[in-house]
Chain A
Amino acid sequence: MVWFYRFFIRLLLKSGYWPTMDKFNQYVAAMIKLEKVSKVYHLGDETIHALRGMDLEVTDGEFVAIIGPSGSGKSTLLHIIGGLDTPTSGRVVVDDQDLSQAGDGELSRYRNRSVGFVFQTFELHPTYNALENVALPLVFSRVPRSKRLQMAGEALETVGLAERANHRPSQLSGGERQRVSIARALVVQPKIILADEPTGNLDSKTGDRIIELLSQLNREKGLTLLVVTHNSEIAEQATRALYLRDGLVVGERRHPD
C-alpha cells in the first residue's frame, strides 16, 4: 500500500494545493530512513567515528542540502545512502530496501537502478565521448547498445547537452562535464540523486547553473535530491538543510515556502 500513499501524496504536492503536507508525508513515506547509523574507520591505532548514531528521514521528492565542515561525515553519509558503503551499526532503509542487510549483488543492483551519483570531480571516462559516458550505467544492466545510446541521448537532452554528444570529456568545459555526469546519473531513471560537492570544482556562476539544473530536476521530475555543499546559497534553494558536525546532525532548517 505504501506505493499508493506515495503516489497520492506526490500528486498533492505537485498540485501545490497542500504544501503543509510535508510533515505527514515524511511520516508515511520516508524514501530514505537511517536509524542510529554509525560508521567507524580504523586507521592504524586510530579509531575515526565518521558517523555517530545518526537518525535521518528523507521524504520522496525532497531536496536536502547537507552542510558541514570538512571531515564531518557528509561524504560517508552519502556513500551509505547510495549503497557504496555499509554502516558499522544501525539500519539503512531506502525505498523499502534494507541496505544494511544487502549483499554485493543486491547493493550493485540498487546502485544501478535506484540511485544516481554525481561527483565533485565528474569521474568521466576519458576515452568515451559524452554519449557513451552517459550510457555506462546501462552497460551493467545489460541494456543493448542501440537502446542504451538512445536513452543516453535523451538524458543528454534533459541536461541541455544534446549537441555535445560526440565530444570527449577533454573537449568539454567543467560545467559541461558536470552536466554529462548528471545525465549519467539520470539515465537509469533513479528515484534518488546523490551529489557530493557537485560545484566544488566549478566557478560560482557555473556552479549556480548546475544547482539550478539539479533543483529543476527535483521540481519537475520529483527526484529526491541530496546535495553536499559548502555553499550557503545552495542551501537556500533546498527544501531542507542539514548541518553536520563530527558525524552528527547538529542543526536543521526547513525552507519556509
Chain B
Amino acid sequence: MRLTDLIGMVFLNLWRRKLRTALTVLAVVIGATLIALMVSLGSGIESFIVDQFGLLVAEDSIAVSSGGDIFGQQGGHPVEIDSTEARIIEPFAKEDLDQIRSIEGVEQVDFIINIDALYISPQSSEKIYTVFVDTGPDYSLKIRQLVAGGYFDEGATGECLIAYGYLDTFGWTDAESALGRQVTITMGKQVPFDPQTRDYTLTVVGVLERTLSEAEVLVPMADAKEMARFHNDTPQLYTEEQPGFFLQVKAADVSLVDRVAEDIEALGFEAITSQEILNQIENVFGIIQIGLSAFGIIALVVASIGIINTLIMAIYERTREIGVMKAMGATRGTIRLLFAVEGGALGLLGGIIGGVVALVFGQLLNVIGSRTFLSDFPGFQLSVFSPWLILGVIALTTAISLLAGLYPANRAARLDPVSALRHE
C-alpha cells in the first residue's frame, strides 16, 4: 500500500464517523492544550524571573558568606543536631579578606552592605514612604538600566538613583524632572527601644528602569556605610577590621567564576554564583512545569483509552470490510498499519488542534496581562511558545495514540478473513 493511499484511507474512515472522531479528538485536545499551556506559562514566568535576575545581578559576581547557608535555615520539623552543627556563625576577619583577595582570578572584593532604612520622603513634603535602600560597587550598579540621568561615581556621596515607581508616588511628572531633586532617607537604630533617628538627604542623579522592585533607592557605598554604621551603632563596621558576614567577589572573567567559587569554598566559606541561583530557578520551574502538566498527562492517558475504545468499535463496524480487504489481497501488516495509523491520526489531529488552542489562549492571556496586571512590564510574555513546544506536544500526542492504536490494530490484523466475511 502506498503512503498516500494509506493516509487517504485513514482520513476517509475518520471522516465517515465525524462525531465519534470529533469526540475522541476532543479528549486529546484537552490533554494537549493543558500540557502546552502549562509549559508555556511556566517558561514565560521563568524567563521573566531570569531576565529580572539578570537585570539586578552581575553574572561575574559571587556572593560569599562567612559560614552557613546564605539563605539561612527556616521551617521544617525539629531535628536533633550535634554541637558542631550548632556553631555560631562568625563574621569575616581581616585575614579572611586577604585570603580571598589572594585567590587567582579574584579581581575585586566588596562588602555586602545591609541597610534597614525606616522611610523616605521627597523634597519639601511631610509624607513618608517605604523604601529599600541598596548599594554596590560600580560594576554591579552599572548593569542597572536608567531611563534618565546617569550613574554616580564610585567615590561620590549625597547622590542617589531612584526606582521608576517613585515618580508617580512622589507626583513627579516625568523622569527628567526628577533629576536634581532631593529625597530624604531616615535611618533608625537596630536596637528597638532606641528612638534616635538620622536623616540623610540625597540628590537624585538618575532614574532606574522598571523592575520587580519598585521601591528601591541606590546610594553610593560611602553613604551606605554611614547609614549602616549609624543603624548598628558600630562605627568600625564595613572596614578591613569588620567586613561583616557577607562579601561580593568579582571574578576577573565570567569563565573563572566557577573556579573562584570553588576556591572560596575550599577556604571554608559559602559561595554562590549567579549561575547557581539561575540553575536553582530553572530546577524549580522544571518541577513546577511537570507538576502543572500532570493534569494534561492524565487527560492524555484518558484520551488514549478513548482512542482504544473508538478503534475497537471501528473494528466491529468494519469487520466485513476488513474481510473484503483481505480477500482483495491486503496483508495482515497492511490491516495493522491502517488501524495503527488511524489511532496515530487521532492523536496528530488532537495535538495540532490542542497546540493551536493553547497558542490562542496563551496570546489571549498575554494581551489581557499586558493591559492589566502586567502593564508595568512591556515586553513581558506570560505565555511563551517555542516552535519546539508545539512540535513536542504534537509528537507526544501522536506517539501516545499510535501506541494506544497498536492493540486494536493487532486485533484487526489477526481477524480470520472467512469469519470476518461471515460477520453480520
Residues of A within 8 A of B (CB): 79, 82, 84-85, 104-105, 108-109, 111-113, 117, 119, 123, 125, 127, 136-137, 139-142, 144-145, 184, 188
Contact = CB atoms under 8 A, between A and B. Distances in A.
B314 interface: no
Contacts of A113: 329
A85 B16 contact: no
Interface in B309-347: 320-321, 323-332, 334
28 contacts: A79-B418, A84-B327, A84-B417, A105-B331, A108-B326, A108-B331, A108-B332, A111-B326, A111-B327, A112-B328, A113-B329, A117-B328, A119-B324, A123-B320, A123-B323, A123-B324, A136-B328, A137-B328, A137-B329, A139-B1, A139-B5, A139-B9, A140-B1, A140-B328, A144-B2, A145-B4, A184-B328, A188-B329
Nearest to B321: A125
Given A127-B16, A139-B1, A140-B334, A85 B418 contact: yes
A142 B329 contact: no
Nearest to B416: A85
B324 A111 contact: no
Contact of B329 (A79, A119, A123, A141): A141
A84 B328 contact: no
Nearest to B318: A125
A105 B229 CA distance: 91
Contacts of A108: 326, 329-332, 334
A105 B333 CA distance: 9
B20 to A, nearest CB: 15
Given A85-B417, A127-B12, A140-B334, 6 more contacts: A108-B329, A123-B323, A123-B421, A136-B325, A142-B2, A184-B328
B329 A140 contact: yes
A142 B1 contact: yes
A105 B332 CA distance: 8
A104 B331 contact: yes
A108 B323 CA distance: 12
Interface string B44-79: 000000000000000000000000000000000000
Contacts, number: 61
Contacts of A125: 321, 324
Nearest to A115: B327
Q: Which of B324, B325, B326, B417 has the most CB of A within 10 A?
A: B324
Nearest to A111: B329
B1 A84 contact: no
A139 B12 CA distance: 15
Contact of A109 (B1, B4, B329): B329
Contact of A145 (B5, B323, B328): B5
Interface residues of B, number: 23
A137 B325 CA distance: 8
Interface of B: 1-2, 4-5, 9, 12, 16, 320-321, 323-332, 334, 417-418, 421
Contacts of B323: 123
Contacts of B326: 84, 108, 111
Contacts of A137: 328-329
A84 B416 CA distance: 8
Q: Which 5 A-B pairs have the closest CB atoms?
A: A112-B329, A108-B331, A137-B328, A140-B329, A123-B324
A140 B325 contact: yes
A189 to B, nearest CB: 13
A141 B5 CA distance: 11
Nearest to B6: A139
A187 B110 CA distance: 90
A106 to B, nearest CB: 10
A6 to B, nearest CB: 24
B417 to A, nearest CB: 5
A138 B332 CA distance: 16
Nearest to B330: A140
A211 to B, nearest CB: 21
A117 B1 contact: no
A53 B209 CA distance: 96
Contacts of B324: 119, 123, 125
A137 B330 CA distance: 8
Nearest to B2: A142
Contacts of A145: 4-5
A119 B329 CA distance: 15
A136 B329 CA distance: 10
A251 B88 CA distance: 111
A86 B37 CA distance: 55
Contacts of B12: 127
A90 to B, nearest CB: 17
A170 to B, nearest CB: 14
A121 to B, nearest CB: 8
Q: Which of A109, A113, A136 has the most CB of B within 10 A?
A: A136
Contacts of A184: 328
A48 B2 CA distance: 41
A84 to B, nearest CB: 5
Nearest to B15: A127
Contact of B327 (A104, A117, A144): A117
Nearest to A112: B329
Contacts of B320: 123
A118 to B, nearest CB: 10
A136 B334 CA distance: 13
Contacts of A136: 325, 328
Contacts of A85: 417-418
A113 B334 CA distance: 16
